[in-house]
A and B are shown apart, each in its own frame.
Chain A
Amino acid sequence: MTKSELIEQIAIRQPELSAKEVEAAVKIILEDITHSLSSGGRVEIRGFGSFSLHFREPRTGRNPKTGDPVDLQGKFVPHFKPGKELREQVNASRALGY
């Protein structure tokens, strides 16, 4: 499922909102999550999961073309940990043959 399909599906379930409004809402939700993470925060969605930052230590990488060593700085990467409900539902779907 893509973002536009997600918007369509939500619009079907939310008849009081127009597709345009759902689209704007999805954009805000994703931007809020991104903004929270990029300012070092966490996001906790009960029943779904949590987003946080993981730190990658500085390391020496290589230029793939020349093979020269390059010093890479430490950096933060986004991390998602599925919540209990999502984990259980997804795993249960295996047994149902999906």
Chain B
Amino acid sequence: MGALTKADLAEHLHAELGFSKREAKSMVEAFFEEIRSCLRENEQVKLSGFGNFDLRDKRERPGRNPKTGEEIPISARRVVTFRPGQKLKARVEDFDDADVIH
């Protein structure tokens, strides 16, 4: 099964809500751009029933080049983390993996 993409989401909005193809595409772009824009401004995004996008500031820490073994510090950085909400966790937990090999 292929991954779900922005094109699939837009197609669904077109079919389900009667948005024109252009409106549907623009809506999908705006959805992700708005979340990204918030995160860029260091603001958490909370989508009830789905999950929260949080930001974490990480301090510099020692690292290694896995190829050469050379020690190089990993610079301080800000990262995005996603904490799934109860509803999403519960729905995913129910997935029956009988056909999946780990």
Q: Is A33 close to B, CB under 8 A? A: yes
A16 CA to B20 CA, complexed, in Å: 11
Which of B1, B28, B35, B78 touches A41 (beta carbons < 8 Å)? B1
Against B, the Cβ 8 Å flags (1 = close, 0 = not) of A1-17 are: 11100100110011011
In the complex, chain A residues whose CB is within 8 Å of the CB of B38: 1, 6
Which of A25, A37, A48 touches B92 (beta carbons < 8 Å)? A37
Q: How many A-B residue pairs have CB under 8 A?
A: 162
Measured CB to CB, the residues of A under 8 A from B are: 1-3, 6, 9-10, 13-14, 16-17, 21-22, 24-26, 28-30, 32-34, 36-51, 53, 55, 75-80, 82, 85-87, 89-94, 98
By Cβ-Cβ distance, the 9 closest A-B pairs, closest first, are A80-B82, A42-B3, A98-B42, A44-B3, A38-B91, A36-B4, A78-B84, A43-B4, A82-B80
